[in-house]
Structure 1
Amino acid sequence: MSYVKQSQDRGVRTLCLDSPANRNALSAGLVGELGEALARCAGDQGVRAVLLTHTGTTFCAGADLRSPADPGAFVALLRAVVELPKPVVARVTGHVRAGGLGLLGACDIAVAGPDSSYAFTESRLGLAPAVISMPLLPRMDPRAAGRYYLTGERFGAAEAARAGLLTEAADDVDTALAPVLDGLRRASPQGLAASKALVTATVVETFDRWTEDLSARSAALFASAEAKEGVTAFLERRDPVWVC
């Protein structure tokens, strides 16, 4: 079974998340296959940039609670996106939840359409957006992060752009992406790699400093009684016991 469809056009390799059964959730299979695809892009001189997109109405639903990826593999995937010596551009026309926001935040440029929506749902499950904070918090508006991390509210593309999750909220995603991809095709490979290293330096430093601590926090939360109740309630489609 393939979780990622691939194609290429004039130096832009498209990686399309294609796991409709779980709304492109971060299963072990999807994380592993996407990581392998990015590694091939890194070594392919014919790839100038990567376009990350999705099938269906969901970009990524977050962690696959039934078949979760190894936490270390997920962190490695996020870092691979950030450190890839080629720009990674997200094309989003659907919903993004929890860990999927980490994947989105790791991308260099992100453009989304009006039908997309966003939510940090971790606090409602007894969890926290721990490891995904490494690519997100250096780029997000602090007040917006404070609100949406805590409340789990759903918000739209315009607010996501204001908060720093997106580069642009567009009525027509492909029209908005056209000049972006044209610009990347006109740039030299060396120029892109060096320029990306400048704009991602703070994010890389965050990974260096916080990976071990935040990974441990995430593991402890997932193993807690509260999180087990939250995940069970989610899978059973009911409110957890703490809802008042």
Structure 2
Amino acid sequence: MSYQYLELEQKNQVVTVWLNRAELHNAFNTQVIEELDTCFTALNTRDDVRVVILAGRGKSFSAGADLNWMKQAGQASKDDNEADALKLAKMLKSLATLKQPTIARVHGIAFGGGMGLASACDICVASFDAKFATSEVRLGLAPSTISPYVIRAIGARQASRYFLTAERISAEQAQNIGLVHEVCSAEDLDQKIDEIVQALLLGGPEAQAASKQLIQLVDQQELTEQLLLETAQHIAHVRQGAEAKNGLTAFLNKQSPDWIKTAV
């Protein structure tokens, strides 16, 4: 499938999705959102893809929403305005619920929706020059559709500050508050990501997909009898699968499981 604002690169079992609107710092409008949603939906069906990296061409990861697009949406009817916002919300969910592990490769700015994209990925690696912000309030807006993912990443207490102040957050600060996992020089960004990719390829793809579902199941839940039952049902289902049987047998026989044999 061809895209106007995205570039896809595949190297073995790893796909990098490049935001390619560099002249506008990869800000997104309706078409960019639709292309991202289509792309993530398609990737979710592919068993030949083990890891998805989200990156930005040019000087920035993503400046978030195109302000001209936001202004036009605000001037539209209530129904059209809500439908437009829902497209963004669904795209972020498509990213957050991909079965494959996802890595945000952040350099330059990741403001507003760009910070939302980084937060919706499972792992975030940033260069020292990266800057994050939930900048919406300075435009008279709120970080509504990105809020589930940013709050999940940094917690409500940190969101209470940054949603309200819209302060810029350095890469080091972002790591301290839980948004970023690794910080490195721009020159080492791809090497650091590759190290994480290699670690991911050692895990079973079905087990990783199940683990992502498990986080969504357990996060912020009380330790009720129902939650205990659901987690028990979860592992019971996973360990009955062919992948788990292969992994356990391989470990006990001191062999490599099938998914590593195919990770060439």
Q: Normalised by the size of structure 2, how large is the TM-score?
A: 0.73
1:191 is matched by which residue type in structure 2? Answer: A
1:116 paired residue among 130, 141, 159:
130
**1:80 aligns to what SS in structure 2?**
helix
RMSD: 1.9
1:11 paired residue among 13, 24, 33:
13
Deviation at 1:187, TM superposition (A): 1.9
**1:186 aligns to what SS in structure 2?**
coil
**2:47 aligns to what SS in structure 1?**
coil
1:91 paired residue among 94, 105, 109:
105
Aligned to 2:90: 76
In structure 2, distance between residues paired with 1:114 and 1:192: 29
Instruction: Verify: 1:151 aligned to 2:162, yes or no.
Output: no
Q: How has the CA–CA distance of structure 1 residues 185 and 14 changed in structure 2, closer, same or farther, with 3 Å as cutoff?
A: same
In structure 1, distance between residues paired with 2:136 and 2:199: 37
Output aligned runs, 1:126-145, within 5 Å. 126-145=140-159
Q: Tell me, yes or no, if the aligned pair for 2:22 and 2:59 is still in contact at 8 Å.
A: no
Deviation at 1:204, TM superposition (A): 11
Aligned to 2:201: 185
Identity %: 35
**2:207 aligns to what SS in structure 1?**
helix
Q: Tell me, yes or no, if the aligned pair for 2:23 and 2:58 is still in contact at 8 Å.
A: no
Deviations, residues 26-81 of structure 1 (Å, cap 9, x unaligned): 21111111111111111111101101001011111111121348211100011111
**1:135 aligns to what SS in structure 2?**
helix
2:57 is matched by which residue type in structure 1? Answer: T
Q: Normalised by the size of structure 1, how large is the TM-score?
A: 0.79
In structure 2, distance between residues paired with 1:48 and 1:132: 25
**1:66 aligns to what SS in structure 2?**
helix
Which structure 1 segments of 5+ residues have no match? 206-244
- Based on CA coordinates, which of the two structures has the bigger radius of gyration? 2
2:51 is matched by which residue type in structure 1? Answer: A
Q: Tell me, yes or no, if the aligned pair for 2:25 and 2:63 is still in contact at 8 Å.
A: yes
Aligned to 1:173: 189
Deviation at 1:143, TM superposition (A): 3.5
Aligned to 2:64: 62
**1:138 aligns to what SS in structure 2?**
helix
* Higher RCO by CA contacts (8 Å cutoff, separation 6 or greater): 1
In structure 2, distance between residues paired with 1:204 and 1:25: 32
- Corresponding residue pairs, total: 205
2:214 paired residue among 198, 206, 211:
198
Deviation at 1:122, TM superposition (A): 0.9
Aligned to 1:230: none
Q: Tell me, yes or no, if the aligned pair for 1:15 and 1:52 is still in contact at 8 Å.
A: yes
Which structure 2 segments of 5+ residues have no match? 74-83, 222-264
In structure 2, distance between residues paired with 1:95 and 1:181: 23
Deviations, residues 74-119 of structure 1 (Å, cap 9, x unaligned): 0001111111111111111221111111111100000000111111
**2:125 aligns to what SS in structure 1?**
strand
In structure 2, distance between residues paired with 1:174 and 1:202: 32
